[in-house]
Structure 1
Amino acid sequence: MTTIDGTDEQLPFDVFARNCPSRETLGHVTGRWGALTLGALREDTLRFNELRRRVEGVSEKMLSQTLHALERDGLVHREAQPTNPPRVDYRLTPLGRDVTGRLMGLIELLEERMPEVLAARVRYDSGR
Structure 2
Amino acid sequence: MALSDFTDANELGVTIAGQPLEHRLYHFVLVYSGWEYAAVVLGRESFTAPTENLANALWALVGVTGAHRNDSLSAAYRNLDADATADVTKRYTTFCVQYGMLASRNNPGRAMRPGRSRLTTTT
Structure of higher RCO (CA pairs closer than 8 Å, 6+ residues apart):
2
TM-score by length of 1: 0.25
Higher helix share: 1
Higher strand share: 2
Larger radius of gyration: 1
